[in-house]
Structure 1
Amino acid sequence: MAGTVMSEHSVHLLNPIGIIVFLVLWIAFSRCAHLLLMLLRHERLLGWAIGPLGITLLTLHEPSLFIIWLNVLIPAFVSGIAVYIGLFTTISPLILPHRLLIEAGCIIVGILLTSTGDILSAIWDTRFPLWGEVRILRTIHLLRATWARIYLTPFGLSYLSNQFGFQSADTLNIF
């Protein structure tokens, strides 16, 4: 606007669509980091679930302690970088003050928003580790409790059929 002075302490929204695109990309990059780590580990995928808490991948094996914490740190790092690039560079849809406390605060809040569930899951998995079928059943039970839609791979269907005697039609109705 002509004649208006922008203060260095104010926040201005330049592009409303840009902020929506930023939010979608930020969450997508954080979730893709989980997928990339799983692919690098060459895990057998039983299935995946889409629900109100995001996308969850069901794998066969119990990860090691190093992998559990790596699955927290790498997506948190990706989230922090995405927040910094999306809010404090020239491509930002917002004009924010460039102060160290504001930048650090935004990055920390962004990391906590995307990684709190991962941190809690990692703490839970290190304190109360579950192996094998119990781990799979617990994950499926938690996903069903959150109204997540679970999709099983052909390998996942055959594994559940062999281990528990489930048929494809009644596999998840039991839960």
Structure 2
Amino acid sequence: MTVALSSIHGSNLLGLAGFLVLWIFLFECAHVLVTLLRHGPLIGWAVSPLGVTVMFLHEPSTLYIWLNVLFPAFVSASILYAGFFTALSPIAFPRQPIIEVLVITVGVLLLSTIDLFNALRDLCYPLWGEARILRSIQFLRASWASIHFTPFGLSYLRDRFGSSPADLLQVL
């Protein structure tokens, strides 16, 4: 194993940085693609350092919850394999199956662990309606997200909470 680790060479640091940005961008695009497949009343969306978050009114189905975990993980694994174990790789890894599995597993776990915990939370402790929206808004406020509400979301906040988004965000 030490021989395999000592034979890893970085040949292009700028290419590695570009690859890492592309990897994270395509991972987030996979999340957005899965979100576009869901047809439900959209309350709003938020952009934060952690990515793009979408707030729906209803609890998602079990299929959607697992698709939101597994599809981005599959995209991440594919990008990692193509980026590190083909001729275009910015880092020369040895072509040993254990190294390939280890690098891809660590990369997928790095990006998908939060998705897995969120999926388990949604399956074990499902929330609907107002409680789900308040939990999402509270989490987004804690992560310095820029929250944007749809016209449906604005009317929903006025009907259910009797306040504007600015008032609700101030309280939370």
State if a TM-score over 0.5 links the two structures: yes
Structure 2: 5+ residue stretches without partners: none
Question: Is the aligned partner of 1:32 residue 2:29?
Answer: yes
Q: Cα RMSD over matched residues?
A: 1.8
Q: How does 1:1-175 map to 2 (within 5 A)?
A: 9-175=6-172
The answer to whether the 8 A contact 2:140-2:147 is kept is yes
Deviates most, 154-163 or 91-100: 154-163
| CA–CA separation in structure 1 for the residues paired with 2:51 and 2:100 | 26
Distance in 1 (alpha carbons) for counterparts of 2:66 and 2:44: 22
More helix by share: 2
Cα deviation for residue 55 of structure 1 reads 2.2
Instruction: Report deviation, 1:128.
Output: 0.7
Q: How far is 1:147 from its partner? A: 2.6
Q: Using the TM superposition, give the Cα deviation of residue 36 of structure 1 relative to its aligned residue in structure 2, in angstroms.
A: 0.7
Superposed displacement of residue 47, structure 1: 2.0
Query: Does the CA contact (< 8 Å) of 1:37 and 1:71 recur in 2?
Result: yes
1:150 is paired with a residue whose SS is strand
CA distance in 2, matches of 1:70, 1:94: 31
Contact 2:57 2:128 in 1 (8 A): no
Q: Normalising by structure 1, report the TM-score.
A: 0.88
Q: CA deviation at 1:8?
A: 9.2
Using the TM superposition, give the Cα deviation of residue 34 of structure 1 relative to its aligned residue in structure 2, in angstroms: 1.2
Alignment: residue pair count: 169
Consecutive unaligned residues of structure 1, counting only runs of 5 or more, are 1-6
